[in-house]
Structure 1
Amino acid sequence: MRTRSRYRVLLPVILTLTTVFTVGTATAETTPPSPPGDAFYVPPSPLPNGSPGDVVRWRQINVGFPRPAVKAWQVMYLSTDALGQPDVVTGTVMVPQGADPAKAPIASFAAGTEGPAFRCAPSNMIAIGALYEQPGVNDLLNSGFAVALTDYEGYRPTSRTTYVTGQSEGHAVIDVVRAASRLTETGLSDKAKVVFRGYSQGGGAAMWAGQQQPTYAPELNLVGIAAGGVPADLVQVALSLDGHKGFGLLAYSLIGLDNAYPDLKLDSYLTDTGRTEFAKLQQTSCTLELLLNYKDKKLQDYTTSSPVLTPPWLARVGENKLGGTPPKVPVFEYHATGDDLVDYSQAAALHATYCKAGANITWKTYQTDHITLVYTGNADVLQFLKDRIAGTPATSNC
């Protein structure tokens, strides 16, 4: 943690010294520079006109890990929120040096839970070399993939992230691929083969992107999806977290849904203590704090009544339940049988739902816990995605 703190202190200086430019039809010489430092993340007002995936601003960066050598850019791009309205999202695009970007496949890497505080944004973690899923990212880069990694909606100096809101997250996962190919400096092709990959929060986001892609982004050459630890049914996930080690994830989920849907009015359910603690959680917590500082807490510790099973909340949660429109491409879905954070049974139910609908699903279980599978599933994920790029037929094991 001391090392991470030191990097956080240095990050604004590093980013301020980085030369950055707003993308557009004008040349770099005539385009005003993007805001330096953390101001890069502040959305312009009003939002510019354009289509989902259009780049609003960008800057080239040095990422905080030595291998593999990459060229990297932070981007802000247009996307679509959970209510179907235009928004902007930030993210990171990485292209391995030595690869021909015009021929490189693109992996949209949907990050797992990083936490609600601005310092936890995946692009901040990448910049300082602190992304806990870096081994999975490196696997893809070493295999010749360009990697586009979204921050999801809401990361800015005063963050209002929309955690576990699949309707928003799926769009962000898709649109970062569009942004990666539209940023001329990357050299990536808009005809490139594309895969979505994610675990935990990222597994849900990748699966949502897969469901949305045929109608939202039919031009993408999507060939496969790998999604693990998927929170497919938020009600079932929530019930297994209250009063247990993952309560901080439950609290963050309520905050994320409330940020996405102002009609939910989370504040009206909170006690004074709840308002104080939830505000603190949103402003200061990354994954470690969520798991340690809120372990075994209960909703009744912070609320006058639980919002989880009320009609307004159930309606919005229902809008973010996976399974309604199975992906059209092969899917590798995997889960830990001893998952202690994302209920196993609801993921198995999603697998059964997709199979019944005729989707091409490779389903695999691992005898381990949630966090361990972040790493031990990487080899199978990489092989599945490489096979999809190679054109090897996927055989469903439904």
Structure 2
Amino acid sequence: MSRRARILSALLATTVASVGLLASAADATQVAAQPSATSRGVTIPAFYTPPTTLPATNGALIRTEPLRLALSLPGINGPLPGRATRIMYKSTDNNGQPVAVTGTYLAPTSAWKGPGARPLVVLAPGTMGQGDQCSTSLALQKGLILGIGGGRSTVSIGYEVLAIYGLLAKGISVVQTDYVGLGTTDRLHTYVDRVDEGHAVLDAARAARNLTGTSPAVGFYGYSQGGGAVASAAELQSTYAPDVPVKATYAGAPPANLADVTAAIDGTELAGAIGWAVNGFVQSEPTLEPLLDRYLSDAGRTALKDLSTMCVGDAIFAYANRKTSGWTNNGQSIGSILQAEPAAKAFIDSQLIGTTKPTGVVRVATGINDNLVPHGQARTMAADWCGRGGDVVYAPINLPKTPSPLLNHFGPLLSDQGTAVNWLTDRLAGRPATSTCSTLPQQP
């Protein structure tokens, strides 16, 4: 076993062994009036219940509390890999309405060895699920989240700890967003909604600035759902958050074209993600709800309700390899219905990423054999950005194709993670990257 593999194995083992470690007590003056909630047998701390009135400014902090990490070791200069603060901050959803978003700010123990002030990376998590118990900030606290019994069992593992701790080891501060509605108990998570996700990423950077009182150079990191979120944020920065100084973005396996992704995921191990997307679409665009009433069978309604509280592991166990044609009353797939109905198609088309030049240099990494979040649509996003004058580093990853779409998707995440962290670190240290737009037409 390689040294890197041994380290990753030890990290995962320690994470699982740390189940039950709790965060420091919340500031009673901040959350005493907020009730706790429960999702699939897991108690959601009162911290995650938003107040009735939100600040006016995007990125304004609503509340904070110290967060004890499940995986933390004593060090000479403080706990390793650093100190964490759970945050709730104000953002704006895709309908222009105020929304509370949670996340975690992590200050590293390691020194920053690059020039200038310590930089900040906003980490957008990959798919965690739609239940509030699935949020990455809660996973950082508990490591492994379990709810058992009553036919509503759940399991969630904080796998983003590997990328987060890799960045902290470089001396880079990290702020992680939970996204709109994931963790916060007032609404459903709007899964893969590009505007909600892009705003949540950009406002997380603002929240970190408000927490620390500093204005560092900013990078974005995300894979899969996170890759789409940071790609969207890089596009939206110039109009939504020009005050956020984005230097570089790592966008791995971005779901840039939801029509292509929906068709690819149907019938795979991650088929349940289509239910999360549809649930989020209807919350973002309530006028789509009559379509559900028209097309969904009783089995489909049950599946979408069930999925609304599930984490990714739950969905794989319960809905792997299901076809959404079994959720409709006419045998059509969800994807084909979304494309056939004008209102639904217009909404899906509005979610396309690649229509605006991104801010800063972007490394687009995509497995050429990824048939879950299809390689072709990620490559098209990179090419579209190049055509709009974007500074793009296109990185096709060639791994052997397996019979499992899930493995074809997550293989590049693991094989490219170290390279991605190093690439982002170099950009934040001021080392330039050479655009590959001129050679992209010759690349797979």
Give TM-score, length-normalised by structure 1. 0.89
| Stretch deviating more after TM superposition (78-87 or 125-134) | 125-134
Asked if the contact 1:38/1:157 (under 8 Å) is kept, the reply is no
Question: Which residue among 41, 48, 53 is the counterpart of 2:59?
Answer: 53
Amino acid at match of 1:263: T
C-alpha separation in 1, matches of 2:130 and 2:72: 27
Change (3 A) 1:213 1:264: same
Amino acid at match of 2:209: S
C-alpha separation in 1, matches of 2:280 and 2:158: 21
- For residues 288-342 of structure 1, give each alpha carbon's deviation from its aligned partner in whole angstroms, at most 9, with x where no partner exists: 2222321221222112254421111111111110011121210100001111310
Give 1:73 deviation, angstroms.
0.8
Q: Residue 28 of structure 1 corresponds to which residue in structure 2?
A: none
Question: Which residue among 324, 327, 330 is the counterpart of 1:302?
Answer: 327
C-alpha separation in 2, matches of 1:179 and 1:359: 27
Instruction: Report 1:3-152 matches (<5 A).
Output: 10=20, 14-15=22-23, 18-20=25-27, 35=34, 38-45=45-52, 47-66=53-72, 68-97=80-109, 99=111, 103-129=117-143, 130-152=157-179
- 1:182 counterpart = 2:182: no
| Stretch deviating more after TM superposition (194-203 or 134-143) | 134-143
Q: Residue 346 of structure 1 corresponds to which residue in structure 2?
A: 377
Amino acid at match of 2:308: Q
C-alpha separation in 1, matches of 2:173 and 2:213: 8
Give 1:256 deviation, angstroms.
2.0
Asked if the contact 2:110/2:169 (under 8 Å) is kept, the reply is no
- 1:393 counterpart = 2:397: no
Secondary structure at the counterpart of residue 18 of structure 1: coil
Give 1:245 deviation, angstroms.
2.8
Amino acid at match of 2:61: V
Question: Which residue among 172, 179, 185 is the counterpart of 2:200?
Answer: 172
Asked if the contact 1:118/1:158 (under 8 Å) is kept, the reply is no
Instruction: Report 1:207-246 matches (<5 A).
Output: 207-246=231-270
Change (3 A) 1:236 1:32: closer
Number of residue equivalences: 379
Secondary structure at the counterpart of residue 326 of structure 1: coil
Report the identity percentage: 32
- 1:250 counterpart = 2:274: yes
Change (3 A) 1:361 1:278: same
- For residues 124-157 of structure 1, give each alpha carbon's deviation from its aligned partner in whole angstroms, at most 9, with x where no partner exists: 1111124112111111100011110000001234
Structure 2 alignment gaps of length 5 or more: 1-11, 37-43, 74-79, 144-156, 400-407, 438-444
Asked if the contact 1:200/1:228 (under 8 Å) is kept, the reply is yes
Give 1:188 deviation, angstroms.
5.0
- 1:380 counterpart = 2:419: yes
Q: Residue 337 of structure 1 corresponds to which residue in structure 2?
A: 368
Asked if the contact 2:86/2:102 (under 8 Å) is kept, the reply is yes
Give 1:33 deviation, angstroms.
5.6
Give 1:244 deviation, angstroms.
2.7
C-alpha separation in 2, matches of 1:19 and 1:151: 18
Give 1:4 deviation, angstroms.
9.0
C-alpha separation in 2, matches of 1:4 and 1:278: 31
Q: Residue 7 of structure 2 corresponds to which residue in structure 1?
A: none
Structure 1 alignment gaps of length 5 or more: 23-30
C-alpha separation in 1, matches of 2:270 and 2:31: 45
- 1:270 counterpart = 2:291: no
Asked if the contact 1:108/1:194 (under 8 Å) is kept, the reply is yes
The RMSD of aligned alpha carbons is: 2.5
Give 1:63 deviation, angstroms.
1.0
C-alpha separation in 1, matches of 2:418 and 2:377: 24
Give 1:159 deviation, angstroms.
5.3
Amino acid at match of 1:385: L
C-alpha separation in 1, matches of 2:199 and 2:72: 31
Amino acid at match of 2:51: P
C-alpha separation in 2, matches of 1:173 and 1:391: 22
C-alpha separation in 2, matches of 1:33 and 1:114: 28
Secondary structure at the counterpart of residue 257 of structure 1: helix
Question: Which residue among 386, 400, 409 is the counterpart of 1:370?
Answer: 409
Q: Residue 204 of structure 1 corresponds to which residue in structure 2?
A: 228
Change (3 A) 1:34 1:380: farther
Amino acid at match of 1:88: A
Change (3 A) 1:99 1:262: farther
Question: Which residue among 376, 384, 390 is the counterpart of 1:359?
Answer: 390
Secondary structure at the counterpart of residue 250 of structure 1: helix
Give 1:48 deviation, angstroms.
2.4
Q: Residue 321 of structure 1 corresponds to which residue in structure 2?
A: 352
C-alpha separation in 1, matches of 2:28 and 2:238: 32
- For residues 137-187 of structure 1, give each alpha carbon's deviation from its aligned partner in whole angstroms, at most 9, with x where no partner exists: 11110001111000000123475100000010000011011111112xxx3
Asked if the contact 1:225/1:330 (under 8 Å) is kept, the reply is yes
Change (3 A) 1:21 1:194: farther
Amino acid at match of 1:274: G
C-alpha separation in 1, matches of 2:16 and 2:435: 46
